[in-house]
Structure 1
């Protein structure tokens, strides 16, 4: 690796930024999962009628802390996931940059897609466990979770029944979602970031430009890949309410969802997903470019 590319500071930047972003938007992610897993009944009945209704019912039945169910798993795994994704994108961009300093759009997209591939390896088990924890109250009869469901119990049950590969249930749609997301997100963010004013005596953009770039790029990418996120969520949700369909693979889930609930069902939770992803990536990118990792490494290794 070239000596002027420092990987460790970028990993630290990604970890700190992602944990901060997740803490800010996690309740919205909780609601997004519930809305995506909800299937319309034969008479058009719905458990949740809107984002606000899902918030209200979830808080009433499970309390404020219930909205943070599964966040410990995210904190444990989100750091390597987002850190690897952001650092990998920079790594590939660095090596794909041409000798004249330019980085053609196909190279930017390739760097983003490669970063998404690395993300999938970490994201799939994390998302699988998170969805079981977030969806527990929805599948309970009255919305309350009577048995204690923990990340450890989910991991142990799946490992016992299907081995370590059981945690990679839903890896197909996760790969489609994350690789396509990164392929769109990183070139778009870089384009927006390059348009803004620079810091004094620096080539880096001012913080508000990085925040705005993360916001817009995150919003656009999140909307485009929402159908894959819906399919992934439904395939990873093991427990169903009475009368809900089972799915056997990506195409089966796409076809049944479209046929029984319409095309709009593939964008369920889309607004909520945008409300989660857009500010989270704005926060992540702002902190990433503030250079927290560089400061930490300077103190540790000087």
Structure 2
């Protein structure tokens, strides 16, 4: 007689789910970048949205969407694939993955994903922020592929990885906060008599994970955005960037926190809701 079985995700489901979620939340991500890079705290989320629409039209809220999707199909696809693969190797014969192992695996997966996703992330930030630059200084990338080509040709291939250290550090924090914490919250919820492996549990676990991920990653996210958008030579490294941000007050590390959570919350929820549906409907069956 066959034993109990479970549905597990395919290697690309995480990237596909993240890209689908990104298409829904991209305007919030764009506004977050604008808030983080403005020199003085003059506009809030609503004010910045009005300014973007006034200057660029409604479609201006989707500046850089190709780079956003490209980032998810590199960065998120990698971190989900690595995490799920190692998790699968460590949970044979019905073994439950302890929390500390989830954190270790998420740290490893996030670091790799951060490096792989840096080029598209760089183009994403530049595309989103291009409208704030004087017309004669704009980069005018047509899409993610044009941006990658222009950077590699005119700035050098190594410039595709500007901010890679900061991006990878952030990716580690986000992956721990999102994937490891989602896994843990879901395990705790399903372990009670009140929750099952359904959309209610997926939503509850994902919104809880989003809160942790935002708190962990926001300071690094601000530094990453500053470094990626800075002219060559502006910062000698992460510490120089951190010092510059701190010069305007420690709260500057959390500039854009509310829109960051407003974006990361829905993005995290949608990612895991899509991910779980892909897993349940299109995953493959393995013995528990």
Q: Give the TM-score range, shorter chain.
A: 0.7 to 0.9
Alignment counterpart, residue 137 of structure 1, candidates 125, 131, 149: 131
**CA contact under 8 A between 2:130 and 2:139: conserved in structure 1?**
no
**Which segment drifts farther, 160-169 or 89-98?**
89-98
In the superposition, the TM-score normalised over structure 2's length comes to 0.85
Alignment counterpart, residue 175 of structure 1, candidates 168, 171, 176: 168
Distance 1:37 1:147 in 2: 17
Unaligned runs of 5+ in 1: 41-45
Unaligned runs of 5+ in 2: none
Q: CA deviation at 1:184?
A: 3.2
Q: How many correspondences in the alignment?
A: 277
CA RMSD of aligned residues (A): 2.9
Alignment counterpart, residue 245 of structure 2, candidates 257, 260, 271: 257
Change in Cα spacing, 1:100 to 1:120, as seen in structure 2 (3 Å) is: same
In the superposition, the TM-score normalised over structure 1's length comes to 0.81
Distance 1:59 1:26 in 2: 14
Aligned counterparts, 1:193-272, within 5 A? 193-197=186-190, 205-238=197-230, 246-259=234-247, 261-272=248-259
1:185 maps to what in 2?
Answer: 178
Change in Cα spacing, 1:183 to 1:16, as seen in structure 2 (3 Å) is: closer
Aligned counterparts, 1:1-302, within 5 A? 9-40=9-40, 46=41, 48-97=42-91, 101-140=95-134, 148-151=140-143, 152-197=145-190, 205-238=197-230, 246-259=234-247, 261-291=248-278, 295=282
**Which segment drifts farther, 101-110 or 129-138?**
101-110
Q: CA deviation at 1:293?
A: 7.8
Q: CA deviation at 1:160?
A: 2.1
Q: CA deviation at 1:294?
A: 5.4
Change in Cα spacing, 1:56 to 1:145, as seen in structure 2 (3 Å) is: farther
Change in Cα spacing, 1:195 to 1:176, as seen in structure 2 (3 Å) is: same
CA deviations on 1:232-256 (whole Å, 9 max, x unpaired) are 100000459xxxx932210001011
Q: CA deviation at 1:162?
A: 3.6
Distance 2:92 2:139 in 1: 57
